[in-house]
Structure 1
Amino acid sequence: MFERVLSLLRSPADFTEMPEADARHALGALLVRVAKADGAYLFQEIEEIDHLLADLYELNAIEAARMRAECERLEAAMPDTSELAHILSCDVTNGECNNLVRALWKVADADGQRHDSETQVVAIATKTFGMSPEDAAALRA
C-alpha cells in the first residue's frame, strides 16, 4: 500500500521513456545544452528552443514543447557534448550544418548576454561538425 501511495506522488516524467537519440533529438538536446551552459535555463532560451524546433520540424507549439521536454531528458542522460554533436553530424549535410550552428547561436544569444560557457558548447559541436572556429563565429553575426 505504501508503494501505491508513493507511486501516486511521483511525477509522470518519472515514467516516460527516453527519446531515441536520433538527429532531431540530438539537435534539441544540443540546444538545451547551450541554454543550460551558463547555469541559468531562462524562459527566453526555452521559448527560442521551442520556436526553432517548431520551425525546423514543422511542429505546432504543443508538439515543439513536448519535443523540447524529450530533448531535455536526452541532454541530461548524455553528458558528452561531442557525442550529441556526432549523432547529429551523421545525418546532416554541410549546407544544413550552417543552419544548425545558427540555431545554436540563437539560443546562446536568446537571453541577451554572451557567456563563455555557451560559446564553448557551440565550439565543441562545430568542431565535431568539422567546421572551423572562424566559420562558426561568422555564422553568429
Structure 2
Amino acid sequence: MFEKLFPRRSPKPLPQPDAQLALGALLVRIAFADRSYLASEIGQIDRILAATFNLKPVEAAKLRATCEALERQAPGTPEFAQILRQEVDYADRKALAGAMWSVALADGHQDEDEEIQLLAIETALGLTDEDIAVARENALGGK
C-alpha cells in the first residue's frame, strides 16, 4: 500500500569527477575533517567555487551540493588529487592550497584533523614541502 503512495526512486547517478567536482569534493572533505560542517565553511566553499570557476552564487551552491554527494560516495583523496594534477597547472594547485586553508579556518578554529587532511591533499596534489609550508604560514598569518 505504501509503495503505491511513496514509490521508491533510484538515486540519480553521480557524474564522473572532473577538476570542478574534484576540487569541490576535496574542499568538502577538508570541512568535514573535524566532524562538523558549519555554515561558515559552506559559504567559504561556495565563494571559492564561484571565484575559481566564474560561477554565480546559485550555480556555486548547486556545484557544492553535487560535490557533497560525490565526496560521500566517490573515491578517496588520491583519486581526486590525481584529477587536479592532470588538469590544473602547478601554480594554480599552489593557489588551491591557500583556498583549502581558508575552508579549514572558516569556522574560526585550527583543528589537527583538518590540518592532517590538508597535508594529505597538498602532498597528493604534488606540492613541494616548501610550498606546503608557505601555504600554511600564509593561512595562519605567521603564527
TM-score, normalised to structure 1, is 0.89
Unaligned runs of 5+ in 1: none
What's the offset of the Cα at 1:70? 0.4
- Amino acid in the other structure paired with 2:62: R
Of the candidates 39, 45, 50, which is equivalent to residue 43 of structure 1?
39
CA distance in 1, matches of 2:13, 2:59: 17
Of the candidates 117, 122, 125, which is equivalent to residue 126 of structure 1?
122
What is the aligned partner in structure 2 of residue 6 from structure 1? 6
Q: Identical aligned pairs, as a percentage?
A: 42
Greater displacement, 122-131 / 54-63: 122-131
Is 1:90 the counterpart of 2:112 in the alignment? no
| Matched-pair contact (CA < 8 Å) for 2:94–2:127 | no
Report the RMSD for the aligned CA atoms in angstroms: 1.7
For the residue of structure 2 that corresponds to 1:19, the secondary structure is coil
Q: Deviations over 1:24-66 (max 9, x none)?
A: 1000000000000000000000000001101111111110100
| Matched-pair contact (CA < 8 Å) for 1:81–1:121 | no
Greater displacement, 46-55 / 17-26: 17-26
What's the offset of the Cα at 1:22? 0.6
Unaligned runs of 5+ in 2: 139-143
TM-score, normalised to structure 2, is 0.87
| Matched-pair contact (CA < 8 Å) for 1:33–1:75 | yes
CA distance in 2, matches of 1:128, 1:95: 15
